[in-house]
Every structure is written in C-alpha cells, then in structure tokens.
Amino acid sequence: MRVSQLLIPTLREVPAEAEVVSHQLLVRAGFIRKTAAGVYTYLPLALRVLKKIEKIVREEMARQGGQEILMPIIQPAELWQESSRWDVYGPELFRLKDRHGRDFCLGPTHEEIITALVRGEVSSYKQLPLLLFQIQNKYRDERRPRFGLMRGREFIMKDLYSFDMDEEGLHTSYQKMYEAYSRVYDRCGLKYRVVEADSGAIGGSDTHEFMVLAASGEATVVYCSSSNCDYAANVERANALYDQESSREEPESKREVYTPSQTTIKDVAVFLGEGREKTIKTLIYKTEDGLVAALVRGDREVNEVKLYNTLGCLQLELADAATIQDVTGAQVGYAGPVGLDMRIVADPEVNNMVNAIAGANKTGYHLVNVNPGRDFKVDTLTDIRMVQAGEPCPRCGSALDEAQGIEVGQIFKLGDKYSRALGAVYLDDKGQEQYIIMGCYGIGVTRTMAASVEQNHDQQGIIWPASIAPFQVVVIPVSTKDEAQVKMAEEIYNKLLQAGVEALIDDRPERAGVKFKDADLVGYPLRITVGSKGVKSGQAEVTERQTGETVMVPQQDIIYKVCDMLEKDV
C-alpha cells in the first residue's frame, strides 16, 4: 500500500478533549475520529489493528473448540425481565421501543440471548459441552464517556459462553478460556496480570480479569510481593487480612468534645492530637430499601463494590447533605454511629477499636472513647474496605504491592444463574432434567487496541507490537525527486510484499523529516530509509521503532534482516 493513497490524517497538535495517551495518539496518528461522546469512527489504520486482534482471538477460541455465531444487537426486554436484569442493569442499558410500543435494548452483553438460544436447541447431555462465541459491537450508556476507547458507549467485544453438564465441566471450560486468554494477550505482545475480580452485574461466582499493566490504567491491582505466591486482585475484590488480636486498652467513659469547623477525618485527628486510625469514618448511603451507614476505620476507604454486594441492593449512592442533616441532625462531617437509627454495616477493624473518635451527630461536636458493642450496635460485620499496598497478603501474609491496570478481558463462572432463570435444561443419562451450567468470557477488542497504545508509546508516538501493527514496515525514500532512491525503495517494497511482509511505502513528495515524524507517530515496528549514500553503497537503513536502533543492511539482505527482526519465516 502507498501512503499517498491511504487515509492517514495525522495531526501535530494534541486534541483538547483527549485525556489519556491512547486517546491523544490514536486521534493524532489518524486512527480514530469522534462521532459523538463515547462513539468513534475507525479509520483504515485502526481497522487493520482491530482485524488483527480479532484474528488472534478467533484462532485461540477455535483452538479450544469455540464455534462462532452472530447474535442480534437489538434484544427484547422480555428476556431481560426473565433474568431479572432489566432493572438491575440500570441506566447504562440503552432502552428503546419499536413502533408498537414493545420494549427493547441495545445489547451490552448477551447472556439472555445465548441462554434462550441454547434453551431451544439443546436437550440432551450428548450435546454438551458447548462453546459459542461472537465478535460484535456492544452498547452501554455510560454516564460520563471518557478516555477515548477506554470507556465508550459503543465498542467491539468478543463474548464466549460455555455450556456444561456440571461444575466439573464448567471448571474445564473456565481453564480452557483462562489459557486461551493468556495466549491472546501473549500474541498481542502485551504485559498483563490475571487478577481476582468482582462479577458485577454479570453475576456468578469465580471471576478473573486480565489487566494490561500501564501507569495510566484506571483500575488498581494489588498483588503479592512474594515470588512463591500468585495472589493478585482488583482492589474492588481484594480481601483484607485482619488482625485477630484485640487492643489491650481499657474502655473509658464516652464524652462529647467541641470540634468547631473540623469536618474531615484528617482535621479531627489533628485537632484532637490522634492518628486517623483512631477515628471511625461514618458514611451514609441511599438504597432502594432505605438508608445504610457504612463504618470503616478513619485511615481506610469504603469499598462500594463490597458494600453493594453485602447489601444485595439495586442502587447505592452517597446520601446528600439535606438527607444527612435530616437523619443525624447535623451538618456533613459530624455523622457517627452512636444513636444512629438505621442499618449499620461495619468493617471488622471497627469492631476491634477501643476508645475511638466518632461524629456526635451534632454540628461542631465529636465523641471520644466510643466503643462498639457498648455504645452502638453493628447489624452486619463484614469486609467493606479498600485494600492498600503494604498490607499483608490474605493468602500468605507477605506485603502487597500495587500497580495500575487496564481491564481488557474477564472470565466468569455463572453456574445456573441464567439457565435457572430462563429454564435452560438438558436430560442427563438417566433421563432426568438438569440445569445447564454456564460460564461467560469477554475480551474488549477496541479496549485491547487502546491498552496496547497506553503500554507501548513514547514522546514521538505509538510503538505497535509487530503482531497487531497496522503495517509491519514502512519504506521511505528520502527524496522522491531522486529516481535512484525511488527505484531502490520500490524494489525493496515489492520484495517485502512478495515475502509476505505487510509493508507500506511513503511515496509522498514531502520532506524526509515529515515522513519520519509520521512514521514514528503511527508506530510502524520497522522503518527502512533509502537515501543518496545508501543508493551509492547498495545499502538501506533499517530502524527499529521500539529501541531506535539503526543498522545499515545490503539491499540483497534486507528481506532476511526484516523477517529476522519481525521473527517471521521467509
């Protein structure tokens, strides 16, 4: 392909709305253009990358016995109502009506559709196990679409669903997908970590996320620092290890102290000359079943995913100032558990506190020497806090490390959650009806492309891994006015094509500097430069994008050198 014939509208300036590196570079390098908030058009280079990722995904799904199908994007509400997710999924679900007033949604995922399909087609244990997958656009009405392709309203995803006779079969299917996903990301040239995760609105039991490690990742991952332990988890899911020993401090009499204008944990602790770990943080949440108070130690943060799962609610949001004033009688910053008339959920650390500091439910006042059990009753005691780096690993006790990651894939054990709700059964070898046991497995194709850019870039632009680069090599004649340079560049270009190398020739009548900048911005793995000195010596300059290393290679050896650098057979 010739650059002069390709739509590659590169930009020199960073787009004002682009917040993260992948968004900035994919726009600047001419890969994507914004159509609406969270909705993008994929230009030729982007589509080539996406097709390569899809090809890798298809090959690895097929290797494990996956069969590709294609399901409708528009889904009838009745199926979502059967699974009880029509309300659970919330405002992220794109809902619409047809001309007859019938409710539909745009598919954010396809558990209902695939379960209904299998319900109608599978009746015997002899038809199981079954692995069905598709690669398709998905739709989620994000409240705040951001970070380009990282959090959009429309995106491309591969979703596979496994159907087995029992939990043992599900475990086998789950392991197959675990291995397949690892190979997918290995082949895409990404550095990643597999972590325990929360299942969210999908539901089910065990689930793992595949996280591409990148400083700009919006997810925080904690993992064990010990080389003998493989524990890793998204902080939303990470379990805390609690000290079982109680304080030997003797409880003292509770008393009220004046704390004017001290409305934050930090301010109160400093004002009273204590550490934040001596305070109780009381957060009041609204749910569809009423108000709930969540208590954690003052130096901790409430993990709202854990709290949501504990409560089993459909909606969870922090109470507003007016509600807090109404139920506590105080302004924000003075809420505490003593005398609070609502359900109280506390982290186990709170239950072990002695002579703690808490809000007095009175503006300008706090209580000291507050003791759980004596001064207030906890309704639910469970892990509801964020785990932090430096804490002990819940598996082996070593210190936890922390990293930022981008979720690019997730696998779930669903069990009979959907088959029971939608009546998907099979007859076993004794003729008895059994619910089909399911798993689901997703890969964000567009997100994988963006994550690769987040992980592989420098100040000049993108650095694509060769396996998913839009083109593997760009050939650049320094001057298109020099016939000898053009001839040599064309010869090299044609031989590369004959050898099966995905090559591009920059035949534009631009200055060499412009071509080099565009090549670095787009991120071709290799650049072959043909200049006047090279023509005279019969050599071309081969530059590796990732390292910046340059070597002079005789023209007759170019193909072998390029294939060797790309680890490709000639």
pLDDT score for 285: 97
Of 243 and 79, the structure prediction assigns the larger pLDDT to 79
Q: Is 136 helix (H, G, I), strand (E, B) or coil?
A: strand
Domain's final residue, options 322, 347, 381:
381
Of the listed ranges 17-21, 152-156, 239-243, 336-340, the one predicted with least confidence:
239-243
Same domain assignment for residues 53 and 150: yes
Examine residue 231 and state whether it is found in any structural domain, yes or no.
no
Same domain assignment for residues 372 and 499: no
Examine residue 265 and state whether it is found in any structural domain, yes or no.
yes
Averaged pLDDT of the chain: 93
Examine residue 244 and state whether it is found in any structural domain, yes or no.
no
**For 38-61, how does the pLDDT look when each residue is reduced to its tens digit (9 = 90+)?**
999 999 999 999 999 999 999 999
- The reported pTM is 0.86
357, 350 Cβ separation under 8 angstroms: no
Which string of b and e fits 245-272 if b means at least 16 CB within 10 Å?
Answer: eeeeeeeeebeebebeebeebeebbebb
Domain's final residue, options 392, 427, 454:
454
Same domain assignment for residues 372 and 408: no
pLDDT score for 19: 84
Average pLDDT over residues 461-465: 97
Helix (H) or strand (E) holding 181: helix 167-187
Q: How far apart are CA 7 and CA 522, in angstroms?
A: 12
pLDDT score for 199: 59
- Residues in CB range of 355: below 8 A, 6 or more apart: 249, 251, 252, 278, 368, 369, 370, 371
Domain's final residue, options 381, 416, 432:
381
Same domain assignment for residues 444 and 494: no
pLDDT score for 534: 86
Same domain assignment for residues 193 and 286: no
Share of the chain above pLDDT 70, in %: 97
Same domain assignment for residues 204 and 58: yes
pLDDT score for 242: 80
Of 247 and 169, the structure prediction assigns the larger pLDDT to 169
pLDDT score for 203: 52
Same domain assignment for residues 214 and 268: no
Examine residue 392 and state whether it is found in any structural domain, yes or no.
no
Could you write out the three-class secondary structure of 200-211?
A: HHHCCCCEEEEE
Place of tokens 């990722």: 53
Same domain assignment for residues 77 and 173: yes
Q: What is the DSSP string of 509-537?
A: SS-HHHHHHHHHHHT-SEEEEE-HHHHHH
Examine residue 477 and state whether it is found in any structural domain, yes or no.
yes
pLDDT band at 201 (very low <50, low <70, confident <90, very high): low
CATH of the domain at 80: 3.30.930.10
Same domain assignment for residues 72 and 212: yes
205, 199 Cβ separation under 8 angstroms: yes
pLDDT band at 570 (very low <50, low <70, confident <90, very high): very low
Q: How far apart are CA 427 and CA 429, in angstroms?
A: 7
How many C-beta atoms lie closer than 10 Å to residue 477's C-beta?
Answer: 30
Total domains in the chain come to 3
What is the phi-psi region of residue 538: left when phi exceeds 0, alpha when psi lies from -120 to 50, beta otherwise?
Answer: left
Examine residue 166 and state whether it is found in any structural domain, yes or no.
yes
pLDDT band at 279 (very low <50, low <70, confident <90, very high): very high
**For 507-555, how does the pLDDT look when each residue is reduced to its tens digit (9 = 90+)?**
999 999 999 999 999 999 999 999 999 899 999 999 999 999 999 999 9
Same domain assignment for residues 160 and 286: no
Average pLDDT over residues 81-91: 89
Domain span at 363? 255-381
Examine residue 463 and state whether it is found in any structural domain, yes or no.
no
Alpha helices in 416-482 (DSSP H): 417-422, 445-455
Same domain assignment for residues 201 and 298: no
Same domain assignment for residues 67 and 214: yes
Examine residue 394 and state whether it is found in any structural domain, yes or no.
no
**For 342-361, how does the pLDDT look when each residue is reduced to its tens digit (9 = 90+)?**
999 999 999 999 999 999 99
Q: How far apart are CA 467 and CA 469, in angstroms?
A: 6
Average pLDDT over residues 30-37: 95
CATH of the domain at 509: 3.40.50.800
Q: Is 502 helix (H, G, I), strand (E, B) or coil?
A: coil
Is 251 a residue whose pLDDT tops 60? yes
Average pLDDT over residues 435-441: 97
